[in-house]
Structure 1
Amino acid sequence: MPISRIKSLRLSYPYYLTILLCIMFIYSSILSYYILTNDQSKCSNEKIPLISKKLLSTKRKLAVLVPYRERFEELLEFVPYMHRFLNRQMLSFDIIVLNQIDRYRFNRASLLNAGFTEIKSNYDYIAMHDVDLLPLNPNLSYEYPVQPVHIAAPSLHPRYHYEKFIGGILLINNKHFELVNGLSNRYWGWGLEDDEFYVRLKDARLNVTRPANISTGINDTFKHIHGKERKRDTVKCFNQREVTRRRDRQTGLRDVEYTVIDRRKLEIDGAPLLVINIKLKCNETATPWCNCTKKNDPSYS
């Protein structure tokens, strides 16, 4: 055999040996990966779902219901802020804006009744939440309420300090909201619907609780973002003043009349929300003040 041929074989032997070792390494790596992933898959099927189901079963879901009309600047601030605030409490929640788009006066109570009717099957409790009130103190808990929890307590709210006040932010579970038949549908315009709701809760012997051990006060527990230029609809006409001072035992959650025009999923600064566009219906014989103008009632005040 020529010397050049012998040298060629000597040089190629390490080369082929290297290739063979590489092939064996790759094969063993693939075999190891298959074994590991196969074991991991079995572990996932047998153990992890049991833990996950147990955790999910204890997680109550919150619907933050926001009665709304033409407060876009406040909504821009509210949605991202509340997402951050509630995420820090590790809650399962959605923000749902109840947008009134009919020709009648604003009716916060009926919007809450309509909103609850639409979402109740997917949630365990609701927060009746004004769009212009932001909680500043992280110790204000939005956890599931065994009894109704008035977060915006009179001792903490920047504006309203009377004992029976339960407006602003109130947590209530589905069972109790249905027990009291929601809120009265007679309150068109601003005010008093939450006072009437307070009486409903008391009549049902529900104990309204409020935050405890809160170190902040009326100046630094909430941020009230209601603009000074925004006027409240406080007009009274027909016999509205007389009727809305009394407990309503006829109307509520079970007879609220409305039409959902559409639902829209939106985002504000990356924070998701659902907007439900709602047209309320008014019985103008029973509550003619849903359309309160001088043309309808020249004596309105």
Structure 2
Amino acid sequence: KVLGTILLLLNLISFLLYLTVKTSNTIILNDDRDDKRNEKKNKEATNEIDLTDDNQSFLAIKSDKTFISHAKSSNGSAKSQCALIPEKLVGRLRIDVNSTITFEEIENETRNLNIEIGGLWSPTECIARHKVAIIIPYRNRETNLKIFLRHIHPILFRQQINYGIFVIEPIQNISFNRGLLMNIGFIESLKLSNDKWNCFIFHDVDLIPEDDRNIYSCPEQPRHMSSAVSTFHYRLPYETIFGGVSALTKEQMKKVNGFSNMYFGWGGEDDDFRARIIASGLQVSRYPLEIGRYFMVNHPKDQNVNPERFKLLNKVKERFKIEGINSIEYKVVEVLKSNLYTKIIVSYDRNLILNKKHR
């Protein structure tokens, strides 16, 4: 009897534990579903598209070797369009922030990639699906630039993208204007390539992609690439953020009239850019956080905050069609082509830009 009673109690305890675990799992799943519902509502409210489903398709077709179009290679054999999902992708990457590396050492590391002068590259074994200009606004960040170039070239090589890297730098003793430099990069990269590029990635030099499945291409809607940055603990600091790294087609850039040229100093130009996108009837898309991961390399913080940014943001809808790419004024001082990138040095007149009537 004692043994039977003990066995009965053990069975009862096991059953109760089973119910506890099952109930606990149900709560977690329900909470997860509630989070997803709330997240979906938030995204709908902020005109954003979550590409989670798109990314699942992206991962599912990794083994698909079907090609869409063909051309003739130099030896007369058929040349296929590059795979939708390149087979050389490795996923999550280790970031090396060695600040002592030289440009010469980076050139030696990437020599087998056969990068062309000016930081240009295109696959030879297939026809690239994307023709992408990487636009980097730049000033006094040589260490960041070296770390960026060391990582980005191998990533884009594995993604089989036809790309060029353009670093846009203002002359010394004039105020830094990130949006204006982005616009200049858009215009000048097209001039240098005979209107070749159809996709533009606007890229802060201190952000390094941590996953090569974050494809540097332009979808049907503008894409916020850097959705999970290390300094924000790989979370969105706020839903409407559009800074860091973003991707737009040539047609989208023309539709939104590019960035505003009015933001001198730090802050405001990215929020203005996003407002232009929404006002133009477009939406913002993102990869899931586990794909859109970026490591931010340490650098001195910008102290020159733009005091006019909130006033400018309040008038985006009134201003964006007449102020941007179609109103830009600048001069190209010099174009320097190295083995890893093209640097475009420019000048502009702050007073001339700020005193225009569209302000």
Q: Structure 1 residue 286 and structure 2 residue 354: aligned?
A: yes
Contact 1:102 1:278 in 2 (8 A): no
Partner of 2:284: 208
Shift of 1:243: 3.2
After superposing the two structures, state which structure 1 stretch, 134-143 or 122-131, moved more.
134-143
Question: Are residues 257 and 183 of structure 1, via their aligned partners in 2, closer, same or farther at CA, if it must alter by over 3 Å?
Answer: same
Letter in 1 for 2:259: L
- SS of equivalent to 2:205: coil
1:136 aligns with 2:200: no
Offset of residue 241 of structure 1: 4.8
In structure 2, how many angstroms separate the alpha carbons of the residues matched to 1:174 and 1:44? 27
Q: Match for residue 219 of structure 2?
A: 145
Alignment-derived partner of residue 71 in structure 1: 141
TM-score w.r.t. length of structure 2: 0.59
Candidates 89, 92, 106, aligned match of 2:176: 106
The AA in structure 1 aligned to 2:315 is: R
Query: 250-259 vs 99-108, which deviates more?
Result: 99-108
Go from structure 1 to structure 2 and tell me whether the alpha carbon gap of 1:193 and 1:45 turns closer, same or farther (over 3 Å shift): closer
Q: Which residue of the partner structure matches residue 335 of structure 2?
A: 263
Instruction: Kindly indicate whether the alpha-carbon contact (under 8 Å) linking 1:148 and 1:206 is maintained by their aligned counterparts in 2.
Output: yes
- In structure 2, how many angstroms separate the alpha carbons of the residues matched to 1:216 and 1:94? 23
Cα deviation digits, residues 248-273 of structure 1 (max 9, x gap): 33310111111111111113xxxx11
**Distance (whole Å) between structure 2 residues aligned to residue 140 and residue 189 of structure 1:** 30
Shift of 1:230: 3.9
Tell me how far apart the structure 2 counterparts of residues 195 and 44 of structure 1 sit (CA, whole Å). Answer: 45
| Counterpart position of 2:303 | 232
Unpaired segments ≥5 residues, structure 1: 1-42, 289-301
Matched position secondary structure for 1:223: strand
User: Displacement, 1:232?
Assistant: 3.4
CA distance in 2 between counterparts of 1:178 and 1:45 reads 35
Q: Distance in 2 between matches of 1:252 and 1:117?
A: 12
Q: CA deviation at 1:112?
A: 0.8
When the two chains are superposed, the root-mean-square deviation of aligned CA atoms in Å is 2.7
Q: Secondary structure at the match of 1:146?
A: coil
Aligned residues of 1:124 and 1:174 also touching (Cα < 8 A): yes
How big is the shift at 1:215?
3.3
Q: Deviations 1:90-130 (Å, cap 9, x if unpaired)?
A: 11111110011153211010111111111221211110000
1:196 alignment partner in structure 2:
272
Say whether the 8 Å CA contact 1:186–1:287 is kept in structure 2: no
In structure 1, what is the Cα distance between the partners aligned to 2:188 and 2:231?
32
- 2:64 maps to none
Q: Would the aligned equivalents of 2:261 and 2:353 in 1 still touch at CA under 8 Å? A: no
Identity of aligned residues (%): 28
CA contact (8 A) 1:156 1:216 kept: no
* CA displacement at 1:149 relative to structure 2: 1.1
Q: After superposition, what is the alpha-carbon deviation per residue over 1:269-292, rounded to whole angstroms, capped at 9, x for unaligned?
A: xxx11001111232358359xxxx
Q: Please, which of 341, 344, 359 is the counterpart of residue 273 of structure 1?
A: 341
Contact map agreement 1:157 1:222 (CA 8 A) in 2 = yes
Flag the 1:139–1:57 CA change in 2: closer, same or farther, 3 A. Answer: closer
Name the residue aligned to 1:292. Answer: none
* CA deviation after TM superposition for structure 1 residue 74, in Å: 0.7
Q: Secondary structure at the match of 1:95?
A: strand
| Residue number in structure 1 paired with 2:237 | 161
Contact 1:184 1:197 in 2 (8 A): yes
Report the 3-state secondary structure (helix = DSSP H, G, I; strand = E; otherwise coil) of the residue aligned with 2:214: coil
Q: Who is 1:24 aligned against?
A: none
Q: Do 1:110 and 1:280's aligned partners in 2 also have CA atoms closer than 8 Å?
A: no
The residue number in structure 2 matching 1:87 is: 157
Question: Are 2:73 and 2:79, in contact at CA under 8 Å, matched by a contact in 1?
Answer: no
Corresponding residue of 1:242: 311
Please tell me the residue identity of whatever aligns with 1:206.
L
5+ residue gaps, structure 2, are: 1-71, 83-125
| Cα drift, residue 53 of structure 1 | 8.4
